[in-house]
Amino acid sequence: MFYSESSMFVSERRFILKTCGTTLLHNALPLMLELAKQKCGFHTVEDIFYSRKNFMRPELQHNMHRSFEEEVIILEKLFQDGAAYCLGRMNGDCWYLYTTNNPDSSKPGQAEPDQTLEISFYMHLNLVSFCFPQISGIADLEPGTLIDDFLFEPCGYSMNGLLPDGAYMNIHVTPEKDFSYASFETNVSKKSYANLVKRVLNVFKPGRFVMTLFANMTSEVYPGDSTFEDKISDFQRQDWQASKFSNYYLTFCNYAKVKAKPS
């Protein structure tokens, strides 16, 4: 489903809702929970993952999203046994996560393989090229992807993609005068995402980026260390943090472009 600056993917037992801008994401949760109960008979939330990078301009957000602490207060009213985390530099790029830490949600070794790769970056961008995915290289990130993309006013680009095996791929781009912010996300299954990450970087050509990977123990990429190389193309790893939860492993890395040495 497609909502300009927001994207939603629905599978048999999961909602994935991704937004950018100033969308009031938390307002959708009570309705989504009620729909799952009434239409599908699902009365219990097995896992909840709410994660985001720290905002560049938090003062532009609505009150409920101006701080992660405020967001956690809202989530705590909806979910039990939740826990909040921050990975990365408190005075720089960091990644916030709220999740339920329920050890009984699935038995070890019996959970369905699950993984999510997300890359957030800053760059200079020619937005016109994103009107033509075949030219920009987006269509070649994962061959065979069915793409539904949209260029919306006043500026911005959003792409939802479905792979033949049912996995998804998502891109959001928010251009600004002096820089552009973009994100890439997918749950396609791989033993390593190293080559895919390089293809994504070649399309967007960012100045720096943050990358996270969620994977459970039955995922073929678990724990995912091979994805987070010390150096990827022209980028040097600045930070590396990992957290082990009851059913998932989260890795966070921050990369910056290597400056050319003066000759």
Q: Which of 65, 71, 106, 172 is catalytic?
A: 172
Q: Active-site residue 67, yes or no?
A: no
Q: Active-site residue 6, yes or no?
A: yes
**Which pLDDT score is estimated for 2?**
38
Report which of residues 140 and 108 the model is more confident about: 140
Instruction: Name the packing angle between helices 68-78 and 29-40 (round to 10°).
Output: 30
Classified by CATH at the fold level, domain 2-257 comes out as: S-adenosylmethionine decarboxylase (3.60.90)
Q: Which of 106, 120, 158, 180 is catalytic?
A: 158
Radius of gyration for the chain, computed over Cα atoms and rounded to the nearest angstrom: 18
Q: Which of 20, 94, 120, 219 is catalytic?
A: 20
Q: Active-site residue 5, yes or no?
A: yes
Give the burial string for 14-33 (b: 16+ CB within 10 Å, else e): eeebbbbeebebbeebeeeb
Give the model confidence (pLDDT) of 166-186 as tens digits: 999 999 887 766 667 889 999
Q: Which of 4, 6, 67, 189 is catalytic?
A: 6
The DSSP element (H or E) to which 247 belongs, if any, is none
Report which of residues 8 and 152 the model is more confident about: 8
Give the model confidence (pLDDT) of 113-135 as tens digits: 999 999 998 876 555 555 555 54
